[in-house]
Amino acid sequence: MGFEGRKKGKYAGAEKFVEKMKKIQEEAKVALSKVQEEIKKYMDRKRGEVDDYKVGDLVILSTKDLKYQMVGRRIEKLMEKFVGPYKVKKIVLSNVMELELPSAIKIHLAVNVSRIYKYIGQVEGQKKEQLAPVIIKGEEE
């Protein structure tokens, strides 16, 4: 009737355009993979080895993200850097551990390894002595 489809044939301009786009795409892929390798090289320099944790290991937890919970306890400047030790209850992923935390710490039990460190107990023979409170003019401090 009055409508005829496109002519079937080769369009030289379209083929050149497709080839040009394929060439640009390949060049972009090569450039991206090169940049990706460079970034990986620089990032891996800063990364250290992750400690191997096992279920039952004792770890200490950083208070860096717990500051809002510890308000009122002490001045932030004098607050402990780490709390614990706590046991590793379960290994969720290679970089996520589930800890046995007390109910006073209201965070998710699964913690990233960047927030925990292996607990090293006191050296044998070393004593931890509690100092007597300082008394100033009859008041205990």
The string of DSSP letters for 9-59 reads: S--HHHHHHHHHHHHHHHHHHHHHHHHHHHHHHHHHHH--PPPP--TT-EE
Q: Mean of the pLDDT values across residues 72-79?
A: 63
pLDDT band at 33 (very low <50, low <70, confident <90, very high): very high
Reported as a single tens digit per residue, the pLDDT across 113-131 is 888 888 887 777 777 677 7
